[in-house]
């Protein structure tokens, strides 16, 4: 069976860019249940890291998803701090 996350990343990144129409689709599907799960957040982070270019709409959605996931319970614990560092420092820089 194919790994749908790998397949989807390859399709989305075929042109090297995540554009606004793709962001609409990603947003709709990831927010279908009203929450962004950790694995979905990691998917977005990897997509952002691998893309040659993302639109401002993708960055906006990415950081909204990060905030929503991390602050779901209203506070940031040690594990969530590690998640933030892992995601934001994945490429060794903050942009």
Strand partners, 17: 53
Taking alpha carbons only, the member of 56, 62, 2, 1 closest to residue 27 is 62
pTM (2 d.p.)? 0.84
Split at pLDDT 50, 70, 90, the class of 1 is low
Distance CA 43, CA 78 (A): 21
Compute the average pLDDT of residues 12-40. Answer: 92
State phi, psi for 25 to the nearest 5 degrees: -65, -45
Distance CA 95, CA 89 (A): 9
Tens digits of residue pLDDT in 51-89: 999 999 999 999 999 999 898 888 899 988 888 888 888
């Amino acid at each position: 069976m194919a790994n749908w996350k790998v397949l989807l990343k390859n399709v989305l990144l075929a042109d090297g860019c995540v554009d606004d129409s793709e962001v609409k689709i990603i947003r709709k599907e990831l927010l279908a249940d009203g929450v962004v799960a950790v694995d979905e957040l990691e998917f977005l982070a990897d997509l952002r890291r691998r893309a040659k270019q993302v639109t401002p709409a993708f960055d906006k959605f990415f950081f909204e998803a990060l905030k929503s996931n991390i602050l779901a319970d209203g506070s940031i614990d040690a594990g969530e701090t590690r998640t933030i560092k892992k995601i934001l420092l994945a490429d060794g820089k903050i942009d």
